[in-house]
Each structure stands twice: as structure tokens, then as C-alpha cells.
Amino acid sequence: MRKFFLGLFLSLVLVAASQAAPAGGAVHCGKLVDVRSGKLLEDQLVSFDASGNITSVAKAGAALPPGTIDLSHSTCLPGLMDVHTHITDDPTDNGYEGLGISIPRSAITGAKNARLTLMAGFTVVRNVGAGGFADVAVRDGINAGEIPGPRMFVSGPPLGITGGHCDDNLLPFEFHHTFEGVADGPWAARAKVREVIKYGADVIKICASGGVLSKGDQPGTPQYTLEEMTAIAEEAHKLGRKVAAHAHGTQSIKDAIRAGIDSIEHSSLIDDEGIALAKQRGAYLVFDIYNDDFILQEGAKAGMLPESIEKEKKIGRLQRENFRHAFTEGAKIAFGTDAGVYPHGDNAKQFAKMVEWGMKPIDAIRASTLSAADLIGITGKAGSLEPGYWADIIAVDGNPLENVSVLEHVKFVMKGGVVARSDYAAK
């Protein structure tokens, strides 16, 4: 009996070890999406080393290396990326329900959602906004191998003005409550940038305009001034961080771009001048155009404020029309969904919306691979299946270049050479 339990223990240790570190190997893909050329390559062998990096991508030979993972009936792609998530939030955390959620509880929620996101084929995310640095804790837990999840680049608490979208406006005066990211004026904003970086932020998130899910403001109303945003961008760039600006409003979008902000989140009311500025300055636009469906269909049941649903009714279609216009005009667009407003794991539902509103499937896929990697700052590591890149590989049935919706049904996920999910029976 002792031998039996000893053998069982050793087996579990070996399984855990195999999940914790890659041993090198290969994946045989029946088809492979070359995101650079936009072509579907047949019968490809992707090899990777013990560090979890791709060593070669080539036509599969008659004799495959021992232990090759068989995806010969599937289509492989690089791991997907979502540059606008809220891992520590769930859709029911809106409005007054959110007041009862502690920072430790949100970290637990983040661990749950990180796994859902990875299982959906998203191997990299940029998390833009979390109270109490809960997203830093989730990122660090993933990096330590303690919980499953995507590679995370996180902001910690977002910066905003008193009473703005990034403040907490649900409690009355006698509570004297202000959200921890509030900073008014250029020097206070600079100090807040330094503070969030001190406690682990990879990226700085700010609120340049009002928002949909906040109380008492309007999406189109400017909040941070050009002077404040310029100070934030200067400080962040000096310290090696990029800045993401929540900006629905026309003027706020243009001010953020002029200030040197790296990405405009939501971009709902962008005009021709804003699109031209984004192209001139190289700023990325991030349009969360799936969200509208969930907010209008499920928002009331999820506890969203009635005023939030009314705001979404006014802005949702305009955002989609401006997405199409910005893409047609050649602006740089990265895939970001605002996950957490809708359930995590449904990130890929946005691909079909992007195609519906003007993109070809390969354009939407590139937004979630090459463009997302460029925005995050990991070009050469992620976004393509090439030698030297991370062995972040997903697989689906069907051809996503013809029907992008197949990305909603990922069957295989590998992150850094380690299989996180496989719905295919071993042969």
C-alpha cells in the first residue's frame, strides 16, 4: 500500500512538473494561419525548445519527432491578445453591488477570470484598471506558476479627476470616499504615475473623459485637461511605461493624442481630425464594439445603473460607425473588448462584430496579434508563429479566414510550450 501511494505521489509530482515548465517539443498543424501574409499554410510543424520559444516553423515531414502533438485536423494560430480587460471584475460588479466587494475578493475573482481567459485562447492581456493593485497580485500569481492565466500587463488603479469616471461616485459626502487613483493637477498626476509604478504597474491607465458605467457624468465630457495628460505621458514615458486613455469624447480623444498618449480606449466619438491625429502620431485606437450588445441585452439584469444603459443607447452605434470609419481611413486599431463588463471568456465574440463593421477576418485577427503585440511592446515575442517567438499556440476547427466566429470555440491552448487546454483525444 505504501508503494502504491508513493507511486501515486510521484505521478502527481511529474504531472505538476510537466504543467509548470516546457520540455521542448513540436505541434503538427493541419493548417496554420500566417498572420503576416494572411495565408493559410498546409501541414506545418511548429517546434519549440525547453524555454518555451519557437525554434522552427516548417513543412511537416513524413516522420514526425517523438511526442509531437497531433493537431493535423485543426487550424493553428498564434495566441490571441486582448489589450483592454478588467480581469478582477465581473458584470455583476456594477453599480451599488460593487460596493460590497473587497480588494481580496476581487483578486480571487481575477484568478477565476484569468483561467477563463486563457482557456478561451487569449494568452496575453493588458489589464487596464483594478482597485488595490489586485491585478498586480493576479499577474504575479500567474508568473509564479501558482494560478493558470495569460501573460498579464497591468495598470493597477486608473488615474482620474475628482468626481470623474475613474472616481467612485456612489457614496454620499459623509463617507468622504475618493478612489485611490484620483489625482487633480499636473504635479499630483505625475506623483500618482510614480506611485502606481512603485506598486507594480506595467502600463498607466487614465480617464480622459466621462464614461458609460460611472454615475453622474457623460461619456463625451472632457475630464483630464491637455496639461494634465501631457504631464502624465511625460512621466510615464520617462519611467518606461505606456499610457492608455479611456476617452469616449471627441475633444478628449484629440487632447489625449496631442498629449502623447499611446492608445485611446473606446474612441467612441472620434472625428476626422481625431483619426488624422492618431495616424500622424502613431496612436492606437481600441474600440470595444461587442460590449453594446451585452449592455443593452443583459445590463439591467447585471445590476448596471439605468442611467448607464441610457448612455449606452446613445453611444453604442456611433462607436461602431466610427470604428468602421477609422479602419477605412487607415488608423492603427488593436483588439480590446472591456472584458469584465461582459463575462470573461467571451472575448472572441468581438471578432465577428469587427468583421460585421468593416474588417476582413485577417484584419480582425491581426488586431489581436501583430497590432496588439506592437501596442503592448512585445513585438518579436508574441503575435506570430515564428522562430524566436513564444510558443503560444491555439487551435480551432475550421478556417478563421473564412469564418472568424470559429475563434469563439478554441479547442487547444498552449502557452510558452505548456499545454493549458486540449479538447482533442490523444492518439
Q: Give CA–CA dist 121/123, Å, rounded.
A: 6
Residue 427 identity:
K
Q: What count of residues does the chain have?
A: 427
| Fold of the domain spanning 80-347 | TIM Barrel (3.20.20)
For 262, which DSSP code?
A: S
pLDDT at 213: 87
pLDDT at 94: 81
Helices 250-259 + 226-238 axis angle, to 10? 40
pLDDT at 23: 77
pLDDT at 6: 40
List, for residues 48-104, the tens digit of each pLDDT value.
999 999 999 999 988 899 999 999 999 999 999 999 999 999 999 887 888 889 999
Q: Give CA–CA dist 387/4, Å, rounded.
A: 43
pLDDT at 377: 98
pLDDT at 7: 44
Tell me whether residue 275 is exposed, middle or buried, using C-beta atoms within 10 angstroms of its C-beta: 0 to 12, 13 to 18, 19 or more.
Answer: buried
φ, ψ dihedrals at 159, nearest 5°: -90, 140
User: Where along the chain do the CATH 2.30.40.10 domains lie?
Assistant: 2-79+384-422
Could you tell me which residues come within 8 angstroms of residue 425 by beta carbon, excluding any fewer than 6 positions away? Answer: none
Give SS3 for 269: coil
Distances (CA, A) of 383 to 48, 343, 387, 405, 414: 16, 24, 12, 19, 14
List, for residues 260-283, the tens digit of each pLDDT value.
999 999 999 999 999 999 999 999
User: Where along the chain do the CATH 3.20.20.140 domains lie?
Assistant: 80-347
C-alpha cell belonging to residue 83? 489589450
Residue 225 identity:
T
Residue 220 CB neighbour total at 10 angstroms: 20
The low-confidence residues of the chain, meaning pLDDT below 50, are 1-19, 427
Tell me whether residue 221 is exposed, middle or buried, using C-beta atoms within 10 angstroms of its C-beta: 0 to 12, 13 to 18, 19 or more.
Answer: middle
pLDDT at 426: 57
Q: What is the pTM of this model?
A: 0.93
CATH number, domain 2-79+384-422, options 3.40.50.2000, 2.30.40.10, 2.40.30.60, 3.20.20.100 = 2.30.40.10
Distances (CA, A) of 278 to 26, 116, 183, 272: 41, 33, 26, 10
List, for residues 190-211, the tens digit of each pLDDT value.
999 999 999 999 999 999 999 9
